[in-house]
C-alpha cells in the first residue's frame, strides 16, 4: 500500500510517545576483583567483595543508546578499500554475536588461513559437498571500517572451493563469506578487557550452514570464544527505519517496506510499503524542522524514532483499523538495505554502513555474558 503526501501528518509532532525501555538490562554487580597482590594468598577485600573467580564487569551502557549521531566522515569510500567494501555489501548476512577472542593476532592472518583450511579438510566429511572439494581460506583485514581508536579492525574471511577439476583461470567466487567487526564499540567495555582479548562482537556469515558451523567451531577452539545467534529486535528495527529514512535526502531509499507480525490466530503478517517522499516528509515533521535543517541535524533521538513509528502506525490505523503497535516489526527494507528480525542484514549502500554496523555492534555487546 502506498499513500501520497497529504495533511495527515499535521499534529504528529505533538504526539509524545511513552519512552520505551529497549533491552533488558544486564544486572552486573559493580564489585570487581582486585587483581592478585604480590603473594599467592588472596586479599580479604577480593574474597569478600566478589570471590576470586568473579570478575564481574560493568557495562556502563546497558541499554541501546538513546540517541545517535551520523558519522562525521561522510564518505566511507575514502577510508575503506572499495573492493573489500563491495564484498561486504549486497550480501545478506546472518548475524551472530561473539564473545571476545583470546589471543587473536592480526599478524597471524596468513597462518590462520592455513590452519582453517587444514581444519576444514580434516572435518570435511561433515560438509555434504562430497569428497572432491577442497577449501582455500583467506583471512584479510578490512582497513578503515572502524570509527574509534579502540575499535578492532574488521576481519573478512572468504572460503573458496578448490575443486580438482576447476580450471585454474576460472574466476573464483567464494562459496562462503564472513566477517567479524566492531564499529563504535562501547569504550568502557572494550577497555575493561585484558589486552589478550580482542573484542569483535559482531559476526556476519553468508554461505551454507555447515561451513558456518565449521568456521565457528574453529574459532571456538582457537580463540576460546562463543558464538550465539543475534536477533535484530523490534526496537533495533525501528531504529533502522529511522536511520535509513534519514538518509533519504542523500540517497533515494526508493521504498520503505516494513513487515509487521500481529499476534492473532493464525499469525497475521502485514506488509506495509511507504512512498519514500512520504516517509521523508513524515520524518521532517517528526524532527520539526525544514528538510534542509533535517539534513544538517545529525543527532537522532529515540523520541524521534518513536514519533516516526507512531506516525506510520497511526496512518495505517486510520485506513485499515488495524493497530500495528500490538504487533512487532519483523522486517524492514529500503534501497539502502534490509534487515529481518531473525538476524539477517543486508547493506546495499556504503553510506549507511557505519551507522548500521554501529547499531548492530551495540546489540551484540548487549548480548555479552559478562
Partner 1 sequence: MEAMQYLSESPDSINSSSNDQPVSNRNLNRSQRIAEKEKRKNEAEDPFVAAVKYFSDVEAGTPVMGNDVFEGNLVVVEKVAYAEGLPPDAISVMLEFAMSLRMGTSLCPRVLKCLIPATVVPQDAVVRAVAWLGVSKIPISTQVLFIKWVLTVFDMIDAKDQLRAIYGFIFSFVTEENLCPFICHLLYLLTTKQNVRVFRIRKLLDLQDRLGKQPFLLHLLSLYKVFCPELVTLSVPSRMKRGFRNHNSPWKSALAFVQKKNSAAIAPSAGVTLTIKDQSNRRKRKHCHLELPVLTCALNKESQAELSSNRKLVPLAHLRSFAELLENMHRIELPAQMGSLLSTSVALHYLDCVQEESALLRLNFWLGYTLREEFLFCRDGGATQNSDEALQFLNRLLCAHQFLQEGFSSSEGFLYKFLTVWDGCLMRPQILGLLSNIPVVPSYKMGQLLLEPLKQLYFTSSPFFKCGLLECLNGMLRNWLTWHSVYALEDNMDISISSHTSIYMTLSGLKDSVSQLVQFVDHLAVVGLQLESCHSLLLNFILDFYETVCDMFLKYGLPLVVLPSPGVFYPALLATDPVSVDRLAYIMHRYKVNLAFAKSQLKITEAFRISRQTFSDFNHYVVDMVNFLWNAKAFQSGVNVQLDEGILQRSKVPECSTSFDLVYHPAFMSYAIDFHHKCWPERKELDLSSIKHVKPWSWYVEYLFSQGYDGLELFKRTNINRWQPVKGDKEDSGTMQL
Binding site for partner 1 (CB under 8 A): 24, 26-36, 40-56, 58, 99-100, 102-103, 105, 108, 111, 115, 126, 128-132, 161, 163-167, 170, 193-194, 196-197, 220-222, 224-226, 228-229, 367-370
- Cα–Cα distance between 97 and 365 in angstroms, integer? 8
7 vs 35, beta carbon nearer partner 1: 35
The CA dihedral of 96, 100, 101, 104, to the nearest 10 degrees, is 120
- Cα–Cα distance between 347 and 236 in angstroms, integer? 15
194 vs 266, beta carbon nearer partner 1: 194
For the chain, how far is it from start to end, CA to CA, in angstroms?
44
- In the bound complex, what is the minimum distance in angstroms from residue 136's beta carbon to partner 1? 14
Rg (C-alpha) for the chain, rounded Å, is 23
211 vs 294, beta carbon nearer partner 1: 211
- Cα–Cα distance between 48 and 50 in angstroms, integer? 5
**Residue 46, all three cell numbers:** 577480593
Closest CA to 295 of 283, 308, 306: 283
What is 282-297 written as a DSSP string?
A: HHHHHHTS-HHHHHH-
- In the bound complex, what is the minimum distance in angstroms from residue 128's beta carbon to partner 1? 6
- Cα–Cα distance between 124 and 288 in angstroms, integer? 58
Please say whether the beta carbons of 98 and 203 come within 8 A.
Answer: yes
20 vs 48, beta carbon nearer partner 1: 48
34 vs 79, beta carbon nearer partner 1: 34
- In the bound complex, what is the minimum distance in angstroms from residue 93's beta carbon to partner 1? 20
The helix, strand and coil proportions of the chain, stated in percent and rounded to the nearest 5, come to 35, 20, 40
58 vs 141, beta carbon nearer partner 1: 58
- In the bound complex, what is the minimum distance in angstroms from residue 220's beta carbon to partner 1? 7
Please say whether the beta carbons of 93 and 204 come within 8 A.
Answer: yes
32 vs 61, beta carbon nearer partner 1: 32
Q: Helices 302-320 and 234-246 sit at what angle, rounded to 10 degrees? A: 100
Question: DSSP class of residue 147?
Answer: S
- In the bound complex, what is the minimum distance in angstroms from residue 152's beta carbon to partner 1? 16
What is 126-160 written as a DSSP string?
A: GSTT-TTEEEEEEEEEETT--SSTTSPPEEEEEEE
4 vs 40, beta carbon nearer partner 1: 40
Please say whether the beta carbons of 281 and 9 come within 8 A.
Answer: yes
43 vs 87, beta carbon nearer partner 1: 43
91 vs 133, beta carbon nearer partner 1: 133
- In the bound complex, what is the minimum distance in angstroms from residue 115's beta carbon to partner 1? 8
- In the bound complex, what is the minimum distance in angstroms from residue 153's beta carbon to partner 1? 18
**Residue 170, all three cell numbers:** 576460472
**Residue 279, all three cell numbers:** 516517509
CA triple 315-321-324, angle to 5 deg = 65
- In the bound complex, what is the minimum distance in angstroms from residue 166's beta carbon to partner 1? 4
- In the bound complex, what is the minimum distance in angstroms from residue 121's beta carbon to partner 1? 15
- In the bound complex, what is the minimum distance in angstroms from residue 182's beta carbon to partner 1? 16
Strand pairing class (227-229; 328-334): unpaired
Amino acid at each position: 500500500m502506498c499513500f501520497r503526501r497529504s495533511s495527515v501528518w499535521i499534529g504528529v509532532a505533538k504526539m509524545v510517545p511513552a519512552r520505551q525501555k529497549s533491552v533488558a538490562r544486564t544486572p552486573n554487580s559493580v564489585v570487581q576483583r582486585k587483581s592478585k597482590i604480590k603473594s599467592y594468598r588472596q586479599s580479604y577485600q577480593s574474597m569478600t567483595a566478589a570471590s576470586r573467580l568473579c570478575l564481574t564487569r560493568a557495562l556502563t551502557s546497558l541499554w541501546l543508546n538513546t540517541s545517535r549521531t551520523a558519522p562525521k566522515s561522510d564518505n566511507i569510500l575514502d577510508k575503506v578499500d572499495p573492493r573489500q567494501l563491495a564484498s561486504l555489501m549486497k550480501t545478506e548476512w546472518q548475524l551472530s554475536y561473539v564473545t571476545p577472542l583470546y589471543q587473536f593476532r592480526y599478524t597471524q592472518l596468513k597462518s590462520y588461513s592455513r590452519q582453517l583450511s587444514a581444519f576444514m579438510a580434516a572435518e570435511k566429511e561433515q560438509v555434504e559437498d562430497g569428497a572432491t572439494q577442497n577449501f582455500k581460506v583467506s583471512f584479510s583485514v578490512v582497513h578503515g571500517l572502524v570509527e574509534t581508536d579502540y575499535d578492532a579492525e574488521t576481519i573478512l574471511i572468504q572460503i573458496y572451493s578448490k575443486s580438482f577439476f576447476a580450471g585454474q583461470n576460472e574466476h573464483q567466487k567464494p562459496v562462503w563469506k564472513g566477517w567479524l567487526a566492531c564499529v563504535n564499540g562501547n569504550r568502557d567495555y572494550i577497555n575493561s578487557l585484558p589486552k589478550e582479548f580482542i573484542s569483535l562482537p559482531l559476526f556476519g556469515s553468508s554461505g551454507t550452514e555447515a561451513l558456518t558451523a565449521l568456521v565457528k567451531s574453529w574459532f571456538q577452539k582457537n580463540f576460546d570464544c562463543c558464538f550465539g545467534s543475534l536477533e535484530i529486535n523490534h526496537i533495533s528495527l525501528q531504529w533502522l527505519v529511522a536511520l535509513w529514512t534519514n538518509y533519504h535526502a542523500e540517497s533515494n531509499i526508493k521504498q520503505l517496506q516494513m513487515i509487521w507480525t500481529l499476534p492473532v490466530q493464525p499469525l497475521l503478517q502485514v506488509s506495509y510499503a511507504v512512498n519514500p517522499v512520504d516517509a521523508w516528509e513524515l520524518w521532517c515533521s517528526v524532527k520539526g524542522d525544514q528538510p534542509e535543517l533535517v539534513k544538517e541535524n545529525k543527532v537522532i533521538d529515540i523520541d524521534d524514532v518513536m514519533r516516526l513509528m507512531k506516525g506510520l502506525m497511526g496512518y495505517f490505523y486510520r485506513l485499515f483499523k488495524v493497530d500495528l503497535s500490538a504487533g512487532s516489526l519483523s522486517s524492514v527494507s529500503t534501497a539502502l538495505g534490509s534487515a529481518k528480525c531473525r538476524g539477517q542484514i543486508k547493506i546495499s549502500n556504503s553510506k549507511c554502513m557505519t551507522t548500521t554496523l554501529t547499531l548492530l555492534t551495540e546489540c551484540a555487546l548487549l548480548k555479552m555474558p559478562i
